[in-house]
Structure 1
Amino acid sequence: MIEILYRYKNVTGKVYVKCEHYNLTGSIKDRMALYILQQAYRSGKIKSSDIIVEATSGNTGISFSAIGKALGHEVKIIMPDWLSRERINIIESLGASVILMSKEKGGFLGSIALSEQMSAADPAIFLPRQFENTFNAEAHEKTTAKEIWMQLQAIDINPDAFVAGVGTGGTIMGVGKYLRSRNPVIKIHPLEPEESPTLSTGFKTGSHRIQGISDEFIPAIVKLDEMDPVIKVSDGDSILMAQKLAKTLGLAVGISSGANLIGAIRLQQQSKRPLNVVTVFSDSNKKYLSTDLMKEEPVKQGYLSPDIELLDYDAFSRM
């Protein structure tokens, strides 16, 4: 974990960050993919000869490709065709095959539907079903959240709130459950793009550039009634913050990580008392080199990142 020191409008603050971009394939999804496969093997729901098929916005597909191949499986990934080219290249470089779905073919929801059709037609196909698989959240409850708590306790910090963007919902639900088991009053805030507030509206609306979150629908494992108010951030502000993290602190993270940091700082600024806020850097920037992350992003009214000065960071309590 790291402690990021920042200054916003002449006031300094700190945010605590779990750095998941250092995982095997560079994203937080490695935890969930490994845990789901471990549980499937233990319960006998997958055989060594089975084909792993999953619908994904990218990171999960990369994780299942790497771990699935290491376990000897054929892997097929279905994903919308508007996601970054790097995602496709990485999956294919790991020996998995990619099926792309256009908006006309249903995009993300079409990807999920196709995976179900393929499974129904072939009993040798194993579907992780990340959006409804409770082992997704359990993976983060048993690993990510436990590590966060132990690492913060090692430096005598008690978290007041946790903020994270919602893709499958595994991170927010799993981390939230564990942290509240340690302290029931901890606030758990899901985060979504202002341009596509699916969590707030309950349906797909608008479009956004924070790949990996707000995938057109609210996943089955997400229980909004168990969480605190949703935090909204702009995709442009998130891009600017991800760029600033790389250029100022040398932290090469993706756009959703920029969004998470803005969300954490926004929560602190809205509070009437100092808060120890925790978030995650979900993935590295390697999958976004062909996206707007590498372009000059215009500043718009209401953005926080132009007024945030990133001063320094300290790593602490490595696991």
Structure 2
Amino acid sequence: MGIKKVYSSITEVVGNTPIVRLKKIEEKYNIKTQLYAKLEYLNPFGSVKDRIAEALVEDAWKRNNYNKDTIIVEASSGNTGISIAAVAARKGLKCLIVVPESISDERTNMLDLLGANIVFVSEGIEEAIRTAKEFTDQVKNAIMTCQFENKINVNIHKKTTAKEITKSIKNIDYFVSGVGTGGTITGVGEVLKKKNPNTSIVAVEPWKASVLSGKQVKSHGIQGIGVGFLPKILNIKLIDYIFRAKDHEAIEYARIMAKTEGIAVGLSSGAAICAGIKLGEVINNPFKKILIMVPSSAERYMSTELFDNKSQPLSELVELFGHPESDTINNLDDQQKIEQQDPVL
């Protein structure tokens, strides 16, 4: 893909992410169903949240004209915060992001690099939202972008993500997406359902925080999804199936994606890939198409369990890949003896 133009702002680069057929995964698991992945981590700030950041900031401006003293405020598990921090930096605005203390070091470091002020909370995203709202109420120039409530989150996905998908693939049978704010699955799902009512929407949530399934909410390790409550912008009526991903499955299938397709994805992506693969195995129909959303890359999770067990002793690798055949060793030994006896050789 060649460069077609020079952009005047990094935010103009957002969107138009590729869709890739997962043929190696299909072969590995002998799946007849067609599997596709939309690689949202190829957005300029590294995640699907890049799509909504500028629109959220612009909406905040319309609600309360900002100036050089304005502080853009958001509660985030990391990716939305990073995208908003980047937009704020581009616009010369101050930014405060309230995050759970459990987020990865990479996300925290990115927020800091982009100049955001960071507040940590101990009890998860709900406490982060409360804290962000308290700050906004108390500070005159603070404006909260409200990703969990703002319908712009949904509308942007209708206008961009869904449009790109429908242009690239005709007649998607299953759309698989993790649920965080609900913006992606609602925006894309509504468009896909309108075009083809038979398209099934598959929501992926953590096993330990299965709100959609009516289960008890506990702490989990799949950052970016499973916020522990039903976001206001989530259209539950769209959802046909719910897949509950265990923490270890998110890790396992993120690693499978990297080692099989060469696509390094994060934990929420691993959970969605797990759902897509298992769905594909059940359907096993060469005429059916499954599209999986991949929201962020593995590089946002380098300090997590995803990157454990990085090295092996050399002796184990020799054992794993095998020794040369013994007769080959003997032949080499014989050759060395001949050369030592006759220097002419």
Q: TM-score range with shorter-chain normalisation?
A: 0.7 to 0.9
Q: In the TM superposition, what whole-angstrom CA distance separates every residue of 1:258-298 from its partner, at most 9, and x where no partner exists?
A: 1111212222233375521111110011110000101259x
Aligned residues: 288
Distance 2:30 2:113 in 1: 47
Match of 1:24 in 2: 44
Of residues 151, 164, 167, the one that matches 1:150 is 167
For the 8 Å contact 1:160–1:187, the answer to whether it is kept is: yes
Choose between structure 1 and 2: higher strand proportion: 1
CA contact (8 A) 1:192 1:233 kept: yes
* Correspondences of 1:240-259 after superposition (within 5 Å): 240-259=252-271
1:47-73 C-alpha deviation (Å, 9 max, x unpaired): 133210111101011000011110111
Q: Report the counterpart of residue 8 of structure 2 in structure 1.
A: none
Give the secondary structure class of the aligned counterpart of 2:213: helix
Tell me, which stretches of 5 or more residues in structure 1 are unaligned? 298-319
Work out whether 1:111 is the aligned partner of 2:121.
no
Partner of 1:196: 209
Deviation at 1:247, TM superposition (A): 2.5
SS of residue matched to 2:136:
helix
Shift of 1:38: 3.2
Match of 1:84 in 2: 104
Which of 89, 93, 96 is the matching residue for 2:113?
93
- Maintained 8 Å contact 1:3/1:15: yes
CA distance in 2, matches of 1:128, 1:294: 33
State the AA in 1 paired with 2:299. K
Distance 2:28 2:263 in 1: 19
Give 3-state SS (helix, strand or coil) of 2:35's partner: strand
Q: 2:302 aligns with which of 280, 289, 313?
A: 289
Find out whether 1:48 has 2:48 as its counterpart: no
Which residue number in structure 1 is paired with residue 150 of structure 2? Answer: 133
**How does the TM-score come out when normalised to structure 2?**
0.79
For residues 202-248 of structure 1, give each alpha carbon's deviation from its aligned partner in whole angstroms, at most 9, with x where no partner exists: 6x512221110001211111121232121122221121111122233
SS at match of 1:201: coil
Q: Aligned partners of 1:126, 1:11: CA distance in 2, in Å?
A: 48
Q: Which residue of 1 aligns with 2:314?
A: none
CA distance in 1, matches of 2:238, 2:144: 27
Aligned mates of 2:60, 2:66 — CA distance in 1: 9
Against the structure 1 CA distance between its residues 46 and 189, is the aligned structure 2 distance closer, same or farther, given a 3 Å change threshold?
Answer: farther
Report if the CA contact (8 A) 1:48-1:72 is conserved.
Answer: no
Structure whose alpha-carbon radius of gyration is higher:
2
Q: Would the aligned equivalents of 1:246 and 1:252 in 2 still touch at CA under 8 Å?
A: yes
Cα gap change, 1:265 to 1:198, in 2 (>3 Å): same
CA distance change for structure 1 residues 11 and 281 in 2, over 3 Å: closer, same or farther?
A: closer
1:120 positional shift: 1.1
Amino acid of the residue matched to residue 291 of structure 1? T
2:137 pairs with 106, 120, 130, which one? 120
2:244 equivalent to 1:232: yes
| TM-score, reference length from structure 1 | 0.85
User: Which structure 2 segments of 5+ residues have no match?
Assistant: 1-18, 311-345
* Partner AA of 2:38 in structure 1: K
CA distance in 2, matches of 1:269, 1:248: 17
Q: Distance in 2 between matches of 1:294 and 1:255?
A: 11
Give the superposed CA RMSD. 1.8
Q: Aligned AA for 1:295?
A: D
SS at match of 2:217: coil
2:220 pairs with 1:208:
yes
Q: Which region of structure 1 is more displaced relative to structure 2, 248-257 or 55-64?
A: 248-257
Structure 1 CA distance, aligned partners of 2:77 and 2:270? 18
For 1:114 and 1:11, locate their aligned partners in 2 and report how far apart those are by CA, in whole Å: 46
Distance in 1 of aligned mates of 2:28 and 2:260: 15
Secondary structure of 1:278's counterpart equals strand
Distance 2:84 2:94 in 1: 10
What is the CA–CA distance in structure 1 between the aligned matches of 2:82 and 2:53, rounded to whole Å? 9
**How far did residue 81 of structure 1 move?**
0.6
Task: Give the CA deviation at 1:88.
Answer: 0.7
- Distance in 1 between the 2:138 and 2:157 partners? 32
One-letter identity of the residue aligned with 2:64? K
Residues 9/284 of structure 1: CA separation in 2 closer, same or farther (3 Å cut): closer
Q: Distance in 2 between matches of 1:282 and 1:140?
A: 13
